[in-house]
Structure 1
Amino acid sequence: METEIRFTHRSLVESSKSGDRNSQYQLYELYVDAMYNIGMRFLGVKEDAEDIVQDSFVDAFKNLHKFKYESTFGAWLKRIVINKSINHLKVRRLPLATINDHEYHLTEEEHKEAVEAVDIQKVKKAIDILPLGYKQIINLYLLEGYDHMEIAEVLDISISTSKSQYHRAKKKLVEIINTL
Structure 2
Amino acid sequence: MSYEYTKDKTSELVELCKVGNPVAQREIYNLYIKAMFNTALRIVGDREEAEDVIQESFLDGFMKIGMFRGESTFGAWLKSIVVNKSIAKLRSRKVVLEEIDDKMESTFVSDDDDDLEEKMETIERIKKGITSLPNGFRVVLNLYLFEGYDHQEIGAILGISEVTSRSQYIRGKSKLLEILRVKQ
Determine if the TM-score, normalized by the shorter chain, exceeds 0.5: yes
Inter-partner Cα distance in structure 1 for 2:154 and 2:35: 21
- Determine whether 1:42 maps to 2:43: yes
TM-score when scaled to structure 1?
Answer: 0.89
Report what 2:67 is aligned to: 66
May I ask how many residue pairs the two structures share in their alignment?
171
Displacement of 1:115: 4.5
Query: Does 2:110 align with 1:116?
Result: yes
- How do 1:1-180 and structure 2 match up within 5 A? 5-100=6-101, 104-107=102-105, 111-112=106-107, 115-117=109-111, 119-180=122-183
Q: Distance in 2 between matches of 1:96 and 1:55?
A: 24
Distance 1:178 1:50, change over 3 A: same
Distance 1:94 1:80 in 2: 19
CA contact (8 A) 2:98 2:136 kept: no
Structure 1, residues 35-60: CA drift from partner, whole Å, max 9, x if none?
11111111121111111101101111
Judge which range, 114-123 or 153-162, deviates more: 114-123
Of Structure 1 and Structure 2, which has the larger fraction of its residues in helix?
1
TM-score normalised by length of structure 2:
0.87
3-state DSSP of counterpart to 1:150:
helix
User: Which amino acid counterpart does residue 55 of structure 2 have in structure 1?
Assistant: Q
**Which segments of 5 or more consecutive residues in structure 2 lack a partner in the other structure?**
112-118
RMSD across aligned C-alpha pairs, in angstroms? 1.6
Q: State the distance in 2 between where 1:24 and 1:124 align.
A: 31
Deviations 1:117-173 (A, max 9, x none): 462111111111111211101001111111111111110011111111111101001
Structure 1 residue ranges without an equivalent (≥5)? none
- Identity, in percent, stands at 44
- Say which SS state the counterpart of residue 48 (structure 1) adopts: helix
